């Protein structure tokens, strides 16, 4: 009987550790052939219109923006998979909002994305996991 409180404490501690390791932010989930917004905003709402941000999927270039030029104006590298499918919100840049929309989602878009601000002091990186599920007919 005296062991019981100890056992409970032990279980609590263990489950606490487990959840800290596995519970990152929940992934964003969407079906294929939809669109999805990947959020990324600076908490201080600093104007990034003339700044730089870089979205990568598993390390590959998904969308790049620098001072008004971006992937859709031919700036920076962008892997073929995302050509013409990724858009930022021009009017939101002045509020530090670098969120993007991916249109016509594909299962292959699933992955770990980073939104990176290389010119900030210090540089900032946000991580977002996207899971695109097959459309169930």
Ligand X SMILES: *[C@@H]1O[C@H](CO)[C@@H](O)[C@H](O)[C@H]1NC(C)=O
Contact footprint for ligand X (CB under 6 A): 39, 41, 89, 92, 97, 99, 110-112, 129, 131
Nearer to ligand X, 89 or 135 (CB): 89
**9, 111 Cβ separation under 8 angstroms:** no
Nearer to ligand X, 13 or 18 (CB): 18
> Cβ 73 to ligand X, closest distance in Å?
20
Nearer to ligand X, 43 or 73 (CB): 43
Nearer to ligand X, 13 or 68 (CB): 68
Residue 107's contacts (CB-CB under 8 Å, 6 or more residues apart) are 32, 132, 133, 134
> Cβ 76 to ligand X, closest distance in Å?
21
Q: In this structure, what token pair is assigned to residue 87? A: 């858009």
Preceding omega of 43 cis (within 30 degrees of 0): no
| Burial of 48 per CB tally in 10 Å (0-12, 13-18, 19+) | buried
> Cβ 96 to ligand X, closest distance in Å?
8
> Cβ 116 to ligand X, closest distance in Å?
16
Tell the residue number behind the tokens 């599920």, with chain if given: 133
């Amino acid at each position: 009987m005296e062991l019981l409180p100890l056992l409970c404490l032990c279980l609590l501690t263990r489950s606490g550790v487990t959840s800290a390791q596995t519970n990152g932010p929940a992934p964003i989930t969407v079906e294929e052939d939809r669109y999805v917004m990947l959020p990324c905003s600076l908490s201080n709402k600093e104007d990034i219109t003339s700044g730089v941000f870089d979205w990568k999927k598993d390390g590959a270039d998904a969308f790049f923006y620098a001072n008004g030029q971006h992937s859709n104006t031919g700036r920076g590298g962008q892997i073929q998979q995302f050509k013409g499918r990724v858009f930022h919100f021009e009017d939101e840049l002045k509020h530090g909002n670098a969120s993007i929309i991916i249109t016509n989602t594909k299962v292959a878009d699933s992955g770990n994305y980073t939104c990176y601000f290389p010119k900030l002091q210090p540089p900032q990186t946000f991580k977002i996991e996207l899971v695109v599920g097959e459309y169930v007919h």
